[in-house]
Amino acid sequence: VIQSTDKNFMVPVGGAILATVSGQDDILAKVAALYPGRASNGPCMDLFITLLSMGEQGYQQILKEREELFPRLFEAVAKVAAKHGERMLHTPNNKISMAMSLATIMGSNKAAASQLGGMLFARSCSGTRVVTC
Protein backbone atom coordinates (compact mmCIF):
# COMPACT_ATOMS: atom_id res chain seq x y z
CA VAL A 1 0.00 0.00 0.00
CA ILE A 2 1.35 3.40 -0.94
CA GLN A 3 -0.08 6.34 0.99
CA SER A 4 0.41 9.93 -0.03
CA THR A 5 1.33 11.89 3.08
CA ASP A 6 -0.32 15.12 1.92
CA LYS A 7 -3.75 13.53 1.59
CA ASN A 8 -3.55 11.10 4.50
CA PHE A 9 -1.62 13.17 7.04
CA MET A 10 -2.24 16.83 6.05
CA VAL A 11 1.38 17.74 5.31
CA PRO A 12 2.85 19.49 2.26
CA VAL A 13 3.09 17.51 -0.99
CA GLY A 14 6.15 15.37 -1.51
CA GLY A 15 6.06 12.39 0.79
CA ALA A 16 4.72 8.86 0.72
CA ILE A 17 4.57 5.84 2.99
CA LEU A 18 5.00 2.35 1.61
CA ALA A 19 3.61 -0.46 3.76
CA THR A 20 3.40 -4.18 3.20
CA VAL A 21 1.86 -7.14 4.95
CA SER A 22 4.05 -8.53 7.72
CA GLY A 23 6.56 -10.98 6.32
CA GLN A 24 6.65 -9.45 2.83
CA ASP A 25 9.67 -7.23 3.35
CA ASP A 26 11.06 -8.36 -0.02
CA ILE A 27 8.57 -5.99 -1.69
CA LEU A 28 9.98 -3.05 0.28
CA ALA A 29 13.52 -4.06 -0.68
CA LYS A 30 12.57 -4.22 -4.38
CA VAL A 31 10.97 -0.77 -4.29
CA ALA A 32 13.95 0.66 -2.38
CA ALA A 33 16.31 -0.79 -5.01
CA LEU A 34 14.46 1.15 -7.74
CA TYR A 35 14.72 4.44 -5.89
CA PRO A 36 17.90 6.53 -6.38
CA GLY A 37 17.85 7.72 -2.76
CA ARG A 38 18.31 11.46 -3.24
CA ALA A 39 15.09 12.55 -1.59
CA SER A 40 14.86 15.33 0.92
CA ASN A 41 14.22 14.59 4.56
CA GLY A 42 11.62 17.40 4.51
CA PRO A 43 8.52 15.20 4.08
CA CYS A 44 9.59 12.99 7.01
CA MET A 45 10.10 16.03 9.21
CA ASP A 46 6.75 17.50 8.10
CA LEU A 47 4.97 14.28 9.03
CA PHE A 48 6.81 13.96 12.34
CA ILE A 49 6.02 17.56 13.36
CA THR A 50 2.38 17.27 12.27
CA LEU A 51 1.79 14.06 14.19
CA LEU A 52 3.52 15.43 17.29
CA SER A 53 1.46 18.62 17.20
CA MET A 54 -1.84 16.75 16.74
CA GLY A 55 -1.16 14.01 19.22
CA GLU A 56 -2.97 10.70 19.08
CA GLN A 57 -6.32 12.15 20.16
CA GLY A 58 -6.13 14.98 17.62
CA TYR A 59 -5.30 12.56 14.82
CA GLN A 60 -8.09 10.18 15.85
CA GLN A 61 -10.55 13.11 15.93
CA ILE A 62 -9.61 14.13 12.39
CA LEU A 63 -10.10 10.54 11.18
CA LYS A 64 -13.51 10.45 12.88
CA GLU A 65 -14.56 13.75 11.26
CA ARG A 66 -13.42 12.57 7.84
CA GLU A 67 -15.41 9.36 8.25
CA GLU A 68 -18.51 11.32 9.29
CA LEU A 69 -18.23 13.88 6.47
CA PHE A 70 -17.46 11.45 3.64
CA PRO A 71 -21.11 10.41 2.98
CA ARG A 72 -22.15 14.07 2.87
CA LEU A 73 -19.43 14.96 0.36
CA PHE A 74 -20.21 11.84 -1.69
CA GLU A 75 -23.88 12.82 -1.85
CA ALA A 76 -23.06 16.38 -2.93
CA VAL A 77 -20.70 15.20 -5.68
CA ALA A 78 -23.28 12.61 -6.78
CA LYS A 79 -25.82 15.42 -7.28
CA VAL A 80 -23.36 17.28 -9.51
CA ALA A 81 -22.63 14.07 -11.40
CA ALA A 82 -26.34 13.36 -11.94
CA LYS A 83 -26.93 16.92 -13.11
CA HIS A 84 -24.39 16.29 -15.90
CA GLY A 85 -25.53 12.76 -16.76
CA GLU A 86 -22.69 11.10 -14.91
CA ARG A 87 -22.61 8.65 -12.02
CA MET A 88 -20.50 7.96 -8.98
CA LEU A 89 -18.58 4.71 -9.05
CA HIS A 90 -19.47 2.23 -6.30
CA THR A 91 -16.29 1.37 -4.36
CA PRO A 92 -17.41 -0.06 -1.00
CA ASN A 93 -13.90 -1.10 0.10
CA ASN A 94 -12.44 2.37 -0.45
CA LYS A 95 -13.47 4.60 2.44
CA ILE A 96 -11.35 7.64 1.51
CA SER A 97 -11.61 8.19 -2.24
CA MET A 98 -14.47 8.63 -4.67
CA ALA A 99 -14.73 8.41 -8.42
CA MET A 100 -17.13 9.82 -10.99
CA SER A 101 -17.67 8.70 -14.55
CA LEU A 102 -16.92 11.15 -17.36
CA ALA A 103 -18.62 9.26 -20.20
CA THR A 104 -21.31 11.87 -20.93
CA ILE A 105 -19.05 14.87 -20.42
CA MET A 106 -16.08 13.55 -22.39
CA GLY A 107 -17.60 10.89 -24.62
CA SER A 108 -14.85 8.93 -26.38
CA ASN A 109 -12.59 11.99 -26.60
CA LYS A 110 -9.63 10.93 -24.44
CA ALA A 111 -7.85 14.19 -25.27
CA ALA A 112 -10.72 16.13 -23.67
CA ALA A 113 -10.45 13.97 -20.56
CA SER A 114 -6.72 14.64 -20.35
CA GLN A 115 -7.41 18.33 -20.85
CA LEU A 116 -9.85 18.23 -17.92
CA GLY A 117 -7.13 16.67 -15.76
CA GLY A 118 -4.75 19.45 -16.78
CA MET A 119 -7.35 22.11 -15.98
CA LEU A 120 -7.91 20.67 -12.51
CA PHE A 121 -4.17 20.56 -11.88
CA ALA A 122 -3.66 24.13 -13.13
CA ARG A 123 -6.34 25.28 -10.68
CA SER A 124 -4.55 23.60 -7.76
CA CYS A 125 -7.24 20.95 -7.22
CA SER A 126 -5.35 18.61 -4.93
CA GLY A 127 -5.70 14.86 -5.25
CA THR A 128 -7.80 14.71 -8.42
CA ARG A 129 -7.04 12.22 -11.16
CA VAL A 130 -8.56 11.82 -14.61
CA VAL A 131 -8.09 8.26 -15.84
CA THR A 132 -8.81 7.31 -19.44
CA CYS A 133 -9.50 3.67 -20.28
The answer to whether 6 touches 12, Cβ cutoff 8 Å, is yes
In order of 27, 32, 112, 121, the CA distances from 132 in angstroms are 28, 29, 10, 16
Let me know the angle formed at the C-alpha of 36 by 35 and 38, rounded to the nearest 5 degrees.
115
CA distance 5 to 78: 27
pLDDT at 78: 96
Question: CA 131, CA 117: separation in Å to the nearest integer?
Answer: 8
CA distance 56 to 52: 8
Task: Find residue 17's DSSP bridge partners.
Answer: 3
Per-residue pLDDT of the chain in tens (133 residues, 90 and over written 9): 778 888 778 888 888 888 888 878 888 888 878 877 666 788 889 999 999 999 999 999 998 998 999 999 999 999 999 998 999 998 888 888 889 988 887 777 778 878 888 888 899 887 788 877 7
Q: Could you tell me the pTM of the whole model? A: 0.68
Question: What is d(CA 39, CA 22) in angstroms, rounded to the nearest whole number?
Answer: 26
- Residue 37 has a pLDDT of 67
